[in-house]
Amino acid sequence: MIQTKEDILIGALPYIQRYEGKTFVIKYGGAAMTDAALKDSFAKDVTLLKKIGINVVIVHGGGNAVSELSTSLGVEPRFVGGQRYTDEATLKMVVMTLTGTVNKEVVGLINHAGGNAIGLCGIDNNLITAKKHAPKGIDLGLVGEVESVNSEFLNSLISTGIIPVIAPVGVSTDGEVYNINADIAASGIAQALGAEKLFFLSDTEGVIVEGELVPTLTNARAQQYIKQGIISGGMIPKVNAAFEALANGVKKVHLINGAAKHSLLLEIFTHEGVGTQIIREERVFGNRNAGERAAKGMVPKQDLLDFSKMSKQDVEDLLHLTDVLKKTDAKPLAGKHVTLLFQKPSLRTRVSFEVGVSQLGGTSLYLSNEGIGLGERESVKDVARVLSSYSDCIVARLFDHNVILGLAEHSTVPVINALTDLSHPCQILADMYTVRQFGKLRPGLKVAFIGDGNNVANSWIEMAAIYPMHLSIAAPTGYHPAPQLLEAALRSGISTIEIVNDPRIAADSADVIYTDVWTSMGQEEEKQARLKAFKDYQVNSNLVRLAHPNALIMHCLPAHRGEEITEEAMESKNSVVYVQAENRLHVQKAVLATLLSDTSILTDPAVDEAALAEANEYSLENYEQTETTVYHS
Ligand code: CP
Ligand code: NVA
């Protein structure tokens, strides 16, 4: 079908909406810097991106210009492993050409096209603080790597409509100037800015294998190609810089051919794209875990024991995969078996795992402790080994958290923590999905946890160590959450976390009022003492009135009406407890799919994540509870 001009323009609309206000870092190099027509096309592409509201930051190379100058001065350029060796004389030429001739030429080109570019190098306002770079001990002379980036300064330029054009030269804290590989500089800057996209413009279409362009590349595959010599020379630092960027928050990296006109626009505004997209493989919490195990000579695999191996991006990926799975009947667990080993009772966790596995095409078996005698009839190690030989995954609900660590260590299949005395990660992942569903997962989110500093409170703290929020936990003295988790979360500096005695302080202006039972499973003998200790920590109308009018009332269930929460609060318009319970199913399916399958086949890179999330959104108005109480008139 022939596309009319208006089809093409309208086709770009979703991309424009998706990327408005986002930051793209573009490494400019190769032929696109030397050929007049390509230079013009690049400058126009960049200007167009800026004009439609995308923040563009350019980092340029200029290798040829440096080589030309050194040749004309009779200095032979030296390369080691595809990278330039920089002695004092070379550094002078690098600074001269990159921050002088080349930088000003790029700035001039963009300004001529109508952009508002300003030229900078890493020395300006300490934009790039660098330290000596010696990859695998190879001495490259005065070559640096990015230690930190003055992102505040860059953001202030961006916010005034400027396109910063950066020459990759950095300065150490003691004033030594370093030459930085432009790919590495671009990756460092993209990481510091939390860029949506990082582009590497070079003279090839992307990664080519047996004459074919590889449209999507993951790290495992890339390292294999490097070993086989398929990816070589200057492409190696590019690919490695790409994965470094992805591991540190950049959403996607694109390798595109700068030698083809408008490749930048085609990559951004068309579904197929034109280059190689570099993406994170098994997108959630797996790789780092797997790497640690491999280093110890153990079978690599991924577990979900807590959130210590996860990043904010991993959480967002998981919530996105949950949206995706709700829309498909894909069977990523076909042929897989999951064993559920539960020492404690359960309604939600057990049923949602069993149903979830079945919906994803797998089979499951529930084992209660009576039949197994974990650690008594048989050692944890032996149970782990034997179950690993029959199952593809072990989901365990246990008393002692150390036992789940033992299970995970000795099993060769993923282990999922379905609640221990210490934590309940599956619950909090589902809760994050619920919070997002009601539009509350946004900067400034305040979560008030009222009551016992138990396993559920602990998992909130672990989440606050990776996902920014204001977490206020109101618990009586003697019932505070686990200090080691609290210290680690505070050390991370990600969130504001406070432990208070007065529930009213926690509830004040909160977006979420969360509670859980006062007596957890295994603490039944303490019930009377606990009823007394927690009597002032009930979630009731007086407390809820202090929160934001649209605050969500949340409870992981089972609930004891009249103790930690009143009937009225449970049934109020603000209560989302049953959505929370349902979401256990959806989010656990995403956890299972992530741990046990290749989720890249489920997720279409072209899908608009924000639109999909929006389609799954509820509001307190359209979500109907059977009986409603309105606290705020
Ligand atoms: N919230 C929760 O984990 O419920 P169950 O104990 O019923 O599994
Ligand atoms: N804190 C509660 C949570 C139940 C899902 C318990 O451990 O019993």
Look up the pTM and report it. 0.62
- Both 319 and 269 in one domain: the answer is no
Residue 588 is assigned to a structural domain of this protein? no
Q: What is the CATH number of the domain that holds 145?
A: 3.40.1160.10
Number of Cβ atoms within 10 Å of the Cβ of 158 = 18
What residues contact 59, with CB distance under 8 A and at least 6 apart? 25, 26, 27, 28, 166, 168, 182, 185, 186, 189
Q: Would you give the distance in Å from CA 32 to the centre of its chain?
A: 32
Q: How far apart are CA 25 and CA 187, in angstroms?
A: 8
- Tens of pLDDT, residue by residue over 396-453, are 999 999 999 999 999 999 999 999 999 999 999 999 999 999 999 998 999 999 999 9
Domain boundaries, position 14:
5-278
- Both 274 and 341 in one domain: the answer is no
- Both 319 and 273 in one domain: the answer is no
The answer to whether the CB of 397 is under 6 A from ligand 1 is no
- Tens of pLDDT, residue by residue over 117-133, are 999 999 999 999 999 98
Residue 451 is assigned to a structural domain of this protein? yes
What is the band of 191 on the pLDDT scale with cuts at 50, 70, 90? very high
| Residue of 284 and 181 predicted with greater confidence | 181
Residue 93 is assigned to a structural domain of this protein? yes
Q: Which residue has the tokens 């407890």?
A: 577
- Both 28 and 151 in one domain: the answer is yes
Of the candidates 394, 322, 414, the residue with the CA atom closest to the CA atom of residue 360: 322
pLDDT greater than 60 at residue 520: yes
Mutate to test the pocket of ligand 1, among 349, 351, 514, 523 (most ligand atoms within 8 A of CB): 349
The pLDDT of residue 298 is 65
| Residue of 531 and 247 predicted with greater confidence | 531
CA of 558 to the centre of ligand 1 (A): 6
The one-letter amino acid code at 220 reads: A
Of the candidates 152, 132, 151, the residue with the CA atom closest to the CA atom of residue 141: 132
pLDDT greater than 50 at residue 291: yes
The residue out of 424, 452, 481 marking a domain boundary is 424
Domain total of the chain? 3
- Tens of pLDDT, residue by residue over 209-231, are 878 888 778 777 788 788 888 88
The residue out of 541, 575, 609 marking a domain boundary is 575
Length of the chain in residues, anyone? 633
The pLDDT of residue 297 is 65
The pLDDT of residue 288 is 47
What is the band of 631 on the pLDDT scale with cuts at 50, 70, 90? low
Catalytic residue numbers read 397, 424, 427, 516, 556, 584
Residue 633 is assigned to a structural domain of this protein? no
Ligand nearest to the CA of 458: 2
Helix/strand/coil (H/E/C) assignment for every residue in 265-281: HHHHHCCCCCCEEECCC
Of the candidates 616, 623, 22, 21, the residue with the CA atom closest to the CA atom of residue 321: 616
- Both 337 and 216 in one domain: the answer is no
Number of Cβ atoms within 10 Å of the Cβ of 468 = 15
CA of 59 to the centre of ligand 1 (A): 51
- Both 410 and 445 in one domain: the answer is no
- Both 461 and 527 in one domain: the answer is yes
> Residue 456 — φ and ψ, nearest 5°?
-70, -45
- Tens of pLDDT, residue by residue over 144-179, are 999 999 999 999 999 999 999 999 999 999 999 999
pLDDT greater than 80 at residue 1: no
Mutate to test the pocket of ligand 1, among 346, 460, 516, 577 (most ligand atoms within 8 A of CB): 346
| Residue of 579 and 615 predicted with greater confidence | 579
- With beta carbons less than 8 A apart as the criterion, state whether 251 and 241 touch: no
The token pair at 330 is 């894909």
Mutate to test the pocket of ligand 2, among 421, 426, 556, 580 (most ligand atoms within 8 A of CB): 556
Residue with CA closest to ligand 1 atom 6? 346
pLDDT greater than 60 at residue 287: no
What residues contact 593, with CB distance under 8 A and at least 6 apart? 321, 325, 332, 333, 360, 599, 602
- Both 405 and 485 in one domain: the answer is no
* Beta strand segments in 177-313, E: 177-179, 197-202, 208-209, 212-213, 216-217, 252-257, 276-278
Q: How far apart are CA 213 and CA 193, in angstroms?
A: 29
CA of 449 to the centre of ligand 1 (A): 17
Secondary structure of residue 440 in the 3-state scheme: coil
Give me the percent of the chain exceeding a pLDDT of 90.
64
CA of 322 to the centre of ligand 1 (A): 19
Q: From residue 504, give the alpha-carbon distance in Å to each of 457, 486, 535, 545.
A: 17, 21, 14, 10
The residue out of 390, 424, 458 marking a domain boundary is 424
Residue 153 is assigned to a structural domain of this protein? yes
pLDDT greater than 80 at residue 81: no
Ligand nearest to the CA of 516: 2
| Residue of 279 and 302 predicted with greater confidence | 302
CA of 209 to the centre of ligand 1 (A): 49
The answer to whether the CB of 427 is under 6 A from ligand 1 is yes
Of the candidates 531, 504, 536, the residue with the CA atom closest to the CA atom of residue 518: 531
Helices (H), 116-180: 151-159
| Residue of 500 and 618 predicted with greater confidence | 500
- Both 447 and 420 in one domain: the answer is no
- With beta carbons less than 8 A apart as the criterion, state whether 219 and 243 touch: yes
Question: What is the position in ligand 2's atom list of the atom closest to the CA of 454?
Answer: 1
Question: What is the position in ligand 1's atom list of the atom closest to the CA of 352?
Answer: 8
The pLDDT of residue 2 is 66
Q: What is the CATH number of the domain that holds 327?
A: 3.40.50.1370
The pLDDT of residue 273 is 67
* Local structure of residue 143 (DSSP, 8 states): B
Q: From residue 220, give the alpha-carbon distance in Å to each of 174, 216, 281, 287.
A: 38, 12, 8, 10
Ramachandran category for residue 562: left, alpha or beta (phi over 0 → left; psi -120 to 50 → alpha): left
Ramachandran category for residue 504: left, alpha or beta (phi over 0 → left; psi -120 to 50 → alpha): alpha
- Both 260 and 349 in one domain: the answer is no
Question: What is the position in ligand 1's atom list of the atom closest to the CA of 347?
Answer: 7
The answer to whether the CB of 348 is under 6 A from ligand 1 is yes
> Considering only 268-277, 485-494, 500-509, which range has the smallest mean pLDDT?
268-277
Residue 460 is assigned to a structural domain of this protein? yes
pLDDT greater than 70 at residue 541: yes
Residue 261 is assigned to a structural domain of this protein? yes
- Both 207 and 82 in one domain: the answer is yes
- Both 149 and 71 in one domain: the answer is yes
- With beta carbons less than 8 A apart as the criterion, state whether 121 and 127 touch: yes
